[in-house]
Chains A and B, each alone.
Chain A
Amino acid sequence: MKTITKEVLQDAANRLLFTMSDEQYDTLMGEFKILTKQMAIIGEIPDLGNYEPMTFPFDCTTSYLREDVPVAPLTREEALKNAGNKQDGQIKLPKVVG
């Protein structure tokens, strides 16, 4: 398993375009320590590789598919209600590509 270090978290934060304080890194490191410990306990169970992934541990298979019938969408006002910055009926964001 990948070791979670401050450098790994800094790299992730950098890629996600936000900065964190040293205190926040310490909090996150503490949380990852607990998580890593729990994963290690699970990792000690023998023959784990021979089990199917338990993505859906209980059978919840369905055959339901939605009919292709459109319903009235949100009004533009409703759709954009939470947007901080709007222009010409669209959400306006800072440009992040070159």
Chain B
Amino acid sequence: MNFEAVIGLEIHVQQKTKSKMFSSAPNGFSRDPNTQVAPLDMAFPGTMPVVNKQAVINAIRVANALHMTIDHTLYFDRKNYFYSDLPKGFQITQQARPIGKNGYVYVEVPGGKKRIGIERIHMEEDTCKQEHFMDYTLMDYNRAGVPLCEIVSLPEISNGTEAREYAEAIRNIVVYTGTSDGKMEEGSLRCDTNVSIRPYGQKEFGTKVEIKNINSFKNIELAIDYEIARQSRLLLSGEKVRQETRRWDEGSGKTVLMRVKTDAVDYKYFCEPNIPPIHLSDDFVQNAIDTCPELYDAKKERYLAMGLSRSDAEIILSDPKMAAYFEAGVPFVQNAKDLANYLIVEVNTYLNKEGVAIQDFALSPKTLGEIITGQEKDGLSHKQCVDILNYVLANSVSPKEAKEALHIVAQVSDSNVILKFVTDVLDQNPKSIADYKAGNQRVLGFLVGQVMKASHGKVNPAEVSKTLQEEIKKR
């Protein structure tokens, strides 16, 4: 029997606002425990929630990027549950009236694109961070009240790859709208997945299993594909899939049972009486959309039009700071593709080796552009430019000073000069000519090397290779 999987994703995105969702406490990451807390975050009596404007603007921008219908009146609800991560005893969320409804996003699938529907996006507050030890738990309320957007897909995803693509598309949107860092490893983007399978052709959904604790985009794919295989095995062996919550165990590459769901949790939602309905004017909503930074897809299209390959554009865009550096450097080079190549290979290698982020890279985009134009305009070889780059980085000098210190001069492409070097080398290496004619192609590399050596690297190696082949034919 063949099964089809039905998958839905719930993604929580931590917003990088300056203050929290309903209190004015700073929204800081990795600070000392319990130092970013306002009275409201700890539910001290008499405190009242006040909605953060920037969090609303961010939610509008994400909703618009996801082609959603935006509700111009904000309502909030209380989701009641009794647990120490939420001292109020309830989470303020938007159950009845999410700020955005009925959206979609396209993901790449083999042979084209697939549209995945999105049910809703709503705003809510994060819970506190708990650290569990053997017989006690420590509570840090710095995270309590941090603004979240929850984005809930329709169950229209069919496999692990699509789920990963979907989550990455959401990540790209929240990162480039400026809403979030979107880092799964740091918890600023968290993904819960619901997976069920059913025989092809069956209309009713199978029993749903929830997977939590997925900490990377790759693991979304692995966890879902594992779960589909596990459920298929159960059904094929005549067993039933239980409704349960499982977690992804990265070490074993398996989903592991956390708890069996006996009944649905009743959160007793009701309207948050301390926040009156908030009307968002048309101008406010439109302004939030109009002032939204350029989105990932638009940037990617622009980079492709500049001549970058799809994969190069994606590598540059995988880090918004790298994309910003790239865009700042484009005016200083003749060809944007050359800049992309340097960033992806030479600069990335340097950053990884030194453990430095691109925003802390010592070279300005203008200086890097100056080095690259040495190759584009001034006849320097790629290797010479890389030498200049490394020298500049190691000695904090200008590209001009590095060029002088390294005695670098432009390569010669003059055919008469090259011919003279080639003739001399061929005269000195008759055996190599014979070998080449006998079919040993590798000899050509040796001869090019000899010419480069004789010329102290001043001649253009591509021209040398071409001239060598022509001259060998004549002998």
Which chain A residues have a beta carbon within 8 Å of chain B's beta carbons?
15-17, 53, 55-56, 60-71, 73-76, 79-80, 87-97
Known contacts A73-B37, A74-B39: does B138 contact A66 (CB below 8 Å)?
no
Q: Is the interface of B mostly helix, strand, loop or mixed?
A: loop
B139 within 8 A of A: yes
Q: Once the chains bind, are B281 and A63 in contact (CB under 8 Å)?
A: yes
The docked-state distance in angstroms from the alpha carbon of A67 to that of B52 is 6
Q: Once the chains bind, are A65 and B52 in contact (CB under 8 Å)?
A: yes
Of A66, A70, A90, the residue contacting B34 (CB under 8 A) is: A90
What is the count of residue pairs linking A and B with beta-carbon distances less than 8 angstroms?
Answer: 121
Q: Is the interface of A mostly helix, strand, loop or mixed?
A: loop
Chain B residues contacting A65 (CB-CB under 8 Å) are: 51-53, 56, 278
Cβ of B324 to closest chain A Cβ, rounded Å: 22
B304 within 8 A of A: no
The docked-state distance in angstroms from the alpha carbon of A61 to that of B281 is 12
Of A56, A73, A92, A93, the residue contacting B38 (CB under 8 A) is: A73
Known contacts A61-B277, A65-B52: does B136 contact A90 (CB below 8 Å)?
no
| Binary contact readout B68-110 vs A (1 if CB under 8 angstroms, 0 otherwise) | 0000010000000010100000000000000000000000000
Q: Once the chains bind, are A93 and B276 in contact (CB under 8 Å)?
A: no
Cβ of A61 to closest chain B Cβ, rounded Å: 5
B252 within 8 A of A: no
Q: Once the chains bind, are B137 and A79 in contact (CB under 8 Å)?
A: no
B35 within 8 A of A: yes
> Which residues of chain B in 112-140 are interfacial with respect to chain A, using CB atoms and an 8 Å cutoff?
131-140
Q: Once the chains bind, are B39 and A93 in contact (CB under 8 Å)?
A: no
Which chain B residues have a beta carbon within 8 Å of chain A's beta carbons?
17-19, 24-27, 32-39, 42, 50-56, 73, 82, 84, 131-141, 271, 273, 276-281, 284
Known contacts A62-B278, A64-B278, A95-B135: does B53 contact A70 (CB below 8 Å)?
no
Q: Once the chains bind, are B39 and A89 in contact (CB under 8 Å)?
A: no
Known contacts A16-B82, A61-B73, A68-B55: does B279 contact A89 (CB below 8 Å)?
no
Cβ of A93 to closest chain B Cβ, rounded Å: 5
Q: Once the chains bind, are A79 and B34 in contact (CB under 8 Å)?
A: yes
Known contacts A79-B34, A88-B33: does B24 contact A70 (CB below 8 Å)?
yes
Known contacts A70-B18, A73-B37: does B276 contact A94 (CB below 8 Å)?
no
23 A-B pairs within 8 Å (CB atoms) are namely: A15-B82, A17-B82, A55-B271, A56-B277, A60-B276, A61-B277, A62-B278, A66-B51, A68-B18, A68-B52, A70-B18, A70-B24, A73-B36, A76-B32, A79-B35, A79-B42, A79-B141, A89-B34, A90-B138, A90-B139, A93-B84, A94-B135, A95-B132
- Please name 12 further chain A to chain B contacts, defined as beta carbons within 8 Å, in addition to the given A55-B271, A87-B138, sorted by A numbering: A66-B51, A67-B54, A71-B24, A73-B25, A73-B37, A74-B37, A90-B139, A90-B140, A91-B139, A91-B141, A92-B138, A97-B132
Chain B residues contacting A79 (CB-CB under 8 Å) are: 34-35, 37, 42, 141
The docked-state distance in angstroms from the alpha carbon of A32 to that of B95 is 27
Q: Once the chains bind, are B82 and A93 in contact (CB under 8 Å)?
A: no
Q: Once the chains bind, are A93 and B52 in contact (CB under 8 Å)?
A: no
Q: Once the chains bind, are B26 and A70 in contact (CB under 8 Å)?
A: yes
Known contacts A87-B138, A96-B84: does B32 contact A63 (CB below 8 Å)?
no
The docked-state distance in angstroms from the alpha carbon of A97 to that of B141 is 18
Q: Once the chains bind, are A95 and B271 in contact (CB under 8 Å)?
A: no
The docked-state distance in angstroms from the alpha carbon of A65 to that of B123 is 14
The docked-state distance in angstroms from the alpha carbon of A97 to that of B258 is 11
Chain B residues contacting A68 (CB-CB under 8 Å) are: 17-19, 52-55
The docked-state distance in angstroms from the alpha carbon of A97 to that of B135 is 10
